[in-house]
Structure 1
Amino acid sequence: MQHILIFIVFILVLGFIITIHELGHFIAAKHFGVYCGQFSIGMGPKLWSKKIGETNYELRALPIGGFVAMAGEADQEENEDMKDVPFERTLKGIATWKQVVVYLAGVFMNFLSAFIIIVAVYAISVPVQSNSSTIGKVVDNSPAMTAGIQAEDTINKITVVDSGKQFLIGSYSDLQGALSKSQNNYSGETLALKVTIERDHTTFDYNVNATYRAETDSYFLGISPTTRRLTFVESVEYGANYFKEASLLVFSTLGKLITNSKETIGQLSGPVGIYNVVGEVTQSGNFANVLLLVSMLGINIGVFNLLPIPGLDGSQVLFAVVEKAIGRDIPVKFRYALQLAGLALVFGLMIIVTVNDITRLF
């Protein structure tokens, strides 16, 4: 039953991202009067089809893509339904800047939906870490609990017993710095500390033997910070920063794919890897994490589509600009050859990444 739930969530996640992307192209094309013969979600055999106005709306069996069939596209020239469409209602018949808007509208919709999801999640559901030095929670059987430190205590100062070095604590960041190995210039497994806290307007000193943790390269007290809900304005700011960092991470990874391809490919995930991540997030039972995963995947797909690789939206923009500059269409056969090469590159990378995903399962 759990596997069925994970599969359903996986389909819904991919379906949402694909639908939003194709909807962007569709809305922009319709806005500029371009004839759209098909709006399809999924690939392969049709499961459902309904014609509304001049457009066939379709649902297909494989949730691995989707498309909008627009008059004037190179791959629609043999489509019988497109042959009698007036030139001014084709992609070629609208201004170049409008073509660029149509091609980038899918990416824009991925970005916009990701941003809205992030803001909504943090405004409504997910509390964020406060940077105060007040303790939110004390971990069971941790050095802090053993010493007698409690939740709601406020740490004011930490003194290293052996060296006498003192750290004034005004925020959780100060506390993390005081516990870092590099700040203490000490390599022992435990670090004897005197922790000065304030509780109910009274100051107390506690002797704590913090333990070293290699994964964080710092000493562990066993406390976590307080959390708080963001206001809507703060959520927008937080969402903007989240979006920026996620986008830069994708660009950085793509850059490393060129400079250090062997190591970077091993870190990428394809459909199998995404399925595993969806499974982990679904099993956590936290719907907010599922939404954040949707936003992250939307950002990844959006940035990837901006690349000028034939077959992706970025290349369509490049073709439109080049055709405007040279004053004529790029030969169809040449465009097809480039698109096939680009798709071969993308699918080749996908196969390698999928093999790596499967290998990591065993």
Structure 2
Amino acid sequence: MEILLYVAGILFMLVGLGLSIGLHEVGHLVPAKLFGVRVGQYMIGFGPRLWSKKIGETEYGFKVLPLGGFISMSGMYPASEGKPVRGLFRTLVQDARSANDETIAEGAEERVFYKLPVWKRIVVMLGGPIMNLILAIIIFTVLASGIGLQQGTTTIAGVNECVLPAGTSQTECEPGDPATPAAEAGVLPGDVLVSVDGTPVSTFAEATEIVQAAPGQQLDMVVLRDGENVDLTITPIAAERELTDASGQPLLDDDGTQVVAEVGYVGMLSQMGYVPQPIGTGAELAGENVGRVVGLIATLPVKLWGVGVSLFTGADRDPSGPLSVVGVGRLAGEVAATDAPVLNRFVVLLNLLGSLNIALFVFNLIPLLPLDGGHVVVALWDGIRRAWAKLFRRPPPAPVDATRLVPLTVIVAVLLIGMGALLMIADLVNPVDLLG
């Protein structure tokens, strides 16, 4: 059974990745067609063709390796017109020009990408990453507002019998230890908090905020017990406690140290559960993920060096480091096969898929060819040159011939392939251990 669940987790991620790539290419395809560009192919994957069907002028299909996708637009760059090619990479440049010329169909010379206004070219190239961002926001919204974020609920899971000093290694009450305010007030496991100090509460975090702000003050508290409201009186004591957020995670200061403060304390524990959040929380979570991925890419060379070192030394991988598709699939399989409630596993898998789409969004915006961000830079440069010529009343310059950047494109592609190979090998030989 565990093997079947492991395989199911991998399949879930493969299907999710295929959907993410497919929608990314749709993000390019739709505006390109709306703007009149001739699109010859829409393909998911690379390598030999598995299946395809031509609808109108476009061939739609799937290829063997589901590690990406592409659409073939007519005339990404100006026709070469027999221009001479010089330099060390002249064969590569000439091949790129020939391939580009072949996309320009006879009779459709005006339906080419490079002749679009600059803003339309940018819309077409940003369409793919934006689709990944939209999909990520939808996924995180389903998680946060549809299922909910795991945090303390108003149901009491347990009551501490005595007050233990903060940071102590003591785990059991000893004679002479003072009783907790919750135990003295008669709070019982299973009670559901209704109000504290006259304020209705819907989460444990709301109750905690009131309690922590009132050390030494007598508070009226109403709990639901066996279907009836029960009135209690509780007086929080002042105690040093390590602070946590609504989801139970430690609150850290700028130095990464957990925050300790003197607050009101009563000694009751909440039952964890999924609490639906406001509809905008999904977009906030997506934004936080964007920030994390940007930070990861900014330190990517250092992270990759660490991956290489761990690969040869067997040291533990950085859990916040990059993963390949193999690593994500492996992690998905491990999550699906863990001994945890089905909902918990599904939430983690959705989180992985949302994070994967954020990674696709940010990574494709890197301003280097062959990535989408590189094509945006080419379009912007073309626009700047035209605006400059217009400002000084000069003839419009020739369109930017990005085939001249083929050598740089090849270097970037080789680096990307090398990075992918390193991560795949590391994910197979020395995978990241996120589950402990």
Residue type matched to 2:206 in 1?
A: S
1:94 aligns with 2:129: no
Q: Distance in 1 between matches of 2:110 and 2:51?
A: 31
Q: Distance in 1 between matches of 2:192 and 2:42?
A: 56
| Worse-superposed segment, 86-95 or 217-226 | 217-226
Q: Distance in 1 between matches of 2:424 and 2:210?
A: 42
> Which residue pairs with 1:239 in the alignment?
282
Residue type matched to 2:115 in 1?
A: G
Q: Distance in 2 between matches of 1:253 and 1:38?
A: 33
Q: Distance in 2 between matches of 1:101 and 1:173?
A: 48
Any stretches of 5+ residues in structure 1 without a counterpart?
158-168, 179-193
> Which residue pairs with 1:68 in the alignment?
71
| Worse-superposed segment, 294-303 or 115-124 | 115-124
Residue type matched to 1:270 in 2?
A: S
1:175 deviates by: 8.0
Identity of aligned pairs, percent? 26
1:201 aligns with 2:231: yes
2:430 aligned counterpart, secondary structure: helix
Considering Cα pairs closer than 8 Å and 6+ residues apart, tell me whether 1 or 2 has the greater RCO: 2
Change (3 A) 1:177 1:25: farther
1:20 aligns with 2:23: yes
Aligned length: 330
> Which residue pairs with 1:328 in the alignment?
398
1:89 aligned counterpart, secondary structure: coil
1:297 deviates by: 1.1
> Which residue pairs with 2:7 in the alignment?
4
Residue type matched to 1:38 in 2?
A: Q
Q: Distance in 1 between matches of 2:400 and 2:22?
A: 29
Aligned residue among 43, 47, 60 for 1:44:
47
Contact 1:36 1:69 (C-alpha < 8 Å) held by counterparts:
yes
Aligned residue among 65, 82, 99 for 2:104:
82
| Worse-superposed segment, 352-361 or 99-108 | 352-361
Give the TM-score of the pair, scaled to structure 1: 0.75
1:171 aligns with 2:217: no
1:332 deviates by: 5.0
Q: How does 1:291-306 map to 2 (within 5 A)?
A: 291-306=350-365
| Worse-superposed segment, 337-346 or 322-331 | 322-331
- The answer to which structure has the higher helix fraction is 1
> Which residue pairs with 1:282 in the alignment?
336
Q: Distance in 2 between matches of 1:238 and 1:77?
A: 49
1:205 deviates by: 6.5
> Which residue pairs with 1:270 in the alignment?
324
> Which residue pairs with 1:114 in the alignment?
136
The structure with the largest alpha-carbon Rg is 2
Q: Distance in 2 between matches of 1:44 and 1:172?
A: 58
Contact 2:148 2:274 (C-alpha < 8 Å) held by counterparts:
no
1:229 aligns with 2:229: no
1:315 aligns with 2:374: yes
> Which residue pairs with 2:417 in the alignment?
347
> Which residue pairs with 2:88 in the alignment?
none
Contact 1:135 1:226 (C-alpha < 8 Å) held by counterparts:
no
Change (3 A) 1:85 1:126: farther
1:325 deviates by: 3.0
Contact 1:88 1:94 (C-alpha < 8 Å) held by counterparts:
no
2:421 aligned counterpart, secondary structure: helix
Deviations 1:288-325 (A, max 9, x none): 44333322211111011111122110011001222333
Contact 1:139 1:222 (C-alpha < 8 Å) held by counterparts:
yes
Deviations 1:148-171 (A, max 9, x none): 6423147969xxxxxxxxxxx983
Q: How does 1:94-173 map to 2 (within 5 A)?
A: 94-126=116-148, 129=151, 135-138=154-157, 149-150=188-189, 151-153=191-193, 171=206
